[in-house]
Amino acid sequence: MDQQTPGPLDQGELIQELGQALVSATPEGWQQLTYLARVIGALNDDMLAVQGADGQVGQVPVPDGARAAAEALKQRCYQEGKGTWLSMIVSVHHTGKVNIEYNYDTEPELTREPSPLAYAQELERYPREDGVLPDWIRAKLDQARTLDTGAMTRAIGAALVAACSREGLVAEHRPPTGLRVALPDGSVLLDTDMRTTFDQALIMPEDQWEGLAAHFAGYVAQVAREREAAPAASSGASVPPAPSGQSVPVDPADTVATALAAAFRELGVEVSFQDPNTMIVPMPNGNTASADIGSFRTAMDGAAPEQVTEHATGFARNVAEQLERATRQGTEPAGELRVRLYPASAFPEGVLEQLVSREIAPGLWQTVVVDSPESLQPLSRQAHESSGRSDAEVFAAAVSASLADPVEVTEHDINGTRLVHIGGQHPYVAAHVHDLARHVGEAPHGALVVLPVPEVVIAHPLGQAHPVAAMENLREVAQRFAADAEKPISTQLYWWHPSSRTREQSAPADLRPVGVEIDHEKGSITLHTSDQEFGPLLSSLMGQ
């Protein structure tokens, strides 16, 4: 499996949404949860296991909203010609640490063996170039080619038409995957492409088609009865946007709006709609907030009615929780600011400009993050600018809070080199480079520093051992840490300039890249640095 780094990348919001949905299903005192999602074509096979306070692990139902977030994350991870993941494992620790492993190429272990058409659907949705196609997927595709999907699709359409007829509705299958449903008087209830429903039926056993069709027809019939009870604009007429501050009635034929209104009603919230894509939600403090549901509509296009209902429930819960947190802001913080260090390679082009971040050394970027019990997310520049605080104020608060987090400082002797090890159980230890003078003591020549992983800083005060030997020892230690880490930062060696001692604590330290190459056979030393001060300093220390 390929391990991916969540958080500062463009997947961050979806990962947060998924994490929040999963945590909502956990019992009090939970320690860790593990979510396994296998999404292949129209197949979604998942499970959620939770470790409780007593250490016992048990399976719990997957909460509303998790599947929609997982499917959206799968789409976001698609790489042209390479496809996207087939399965993923999400682990969430009660401290908020999240780890995600994606499987792109290994055949997933499934609860039941799906139709090979699931893999044909997968390749149609997320194409892969022939050169990166695993042999086992080729075999599945060969099996799928032996199936008559045209005949199967016609049979599914016939089952839907028959089920609607039993409910007193008039339905017409419009090949390949269209369906029109109307009342006996000709009033249209539904006229749409139902490809998602057809795709799901195609990978189901044939004896389950009738049950799927009956469930769908029952839902549409219920909508029709509600429409008769509360007349509204016909589905053939467009509903104009309401004037600002007003709302339009919910058209019972609008399955998305109807499902959302019902989902919010279950939570004790009566929503209204300013236009088809703008929902008005009353807030706990008496105010109202508008929510754009356009993307939700797009995601639900062609979805089966039961899918719309399920996703609407998760959507409603997430919106309600977010509004409640927003109402509490000013009395209860939504999260605490911290600074976290990343290599420049962790960010796709253009992402850094969207975050509150700064380069503290060549190749190293410090980003302000919001740490809450539910998630850890980078602070976007848009959210920061709306706060009215300057960058300096935000970084000062985040650095101070990071330095207040507990760390353990120990000293070690490696081949005669004194190393100061600063470590912690959180990813903000690198902030201690701002306060390195407190840890290294007297260091008139500065110190050598490595920041191999988020949880560790290692330093050597120059002048207390042979500098070249210290550089070699420190580099080897950094390489060992990085090799064992899931999310390494850098094995680069930096010179912490002594002028850093007099800087404001919130200001970046003066870190200058240095390196040394030693040929023990020839007895030669090559210094790698563009800094004009370090070379003479190194020579003087070697002469001592």
Are 369 and 377 a contacting pair, CB within 8 Å? yes
Q: What pLDDT is attached to residue 290?
A: 66
Are 489 and 458 a contacting pair, CB within 8 Å? no
Q: What pLDDT is attached to residue 10?
A: 47
Q: Which amino acid is at 297?
A: R
Phi-psi region of 468 (alpha: psi -120 to 50; beta: other; left: phi over 0): alpha
**Residue 458 and residue 485: Cα distance in Å, rounded?**
15
The string of pLDDT tens digits covering residues 13-38 is 778 788 888 888 788 888 899 999 99
Q: Which portions of the chain are predicted below pLDDT 70?
A: 1-12, 64, 226-253, 283-290, 292, 294-295, 298-299, 302, 318, 321-335, 348-350, 373-375, 386, 543-544
Q: What angle do CA 98, 486, 405 make, to 5 degrees?
A: 60
Q: Within 10 A of 473 (CB to CB), how many other CB atoms are there?
A: 20
Longest distance between any two alpha carbons in the chain, whole Å = 101
The string of pLDDT tens digits covering residues 495-512 is 999 999 888 888 999 999
Which residues, in sequence order, are CB contacts of 452 under 8 Å at separation 6+? 458, 477, 478, 479, 481, 482, 485, 488, 489, 490, 491
What secondary structure, in 3-state letters, does 57-68 show?
Answer: EEEECCCCCHHH
pTM over 0.85: no
Q: What pLDDT is attached to residue 241?
A: 45
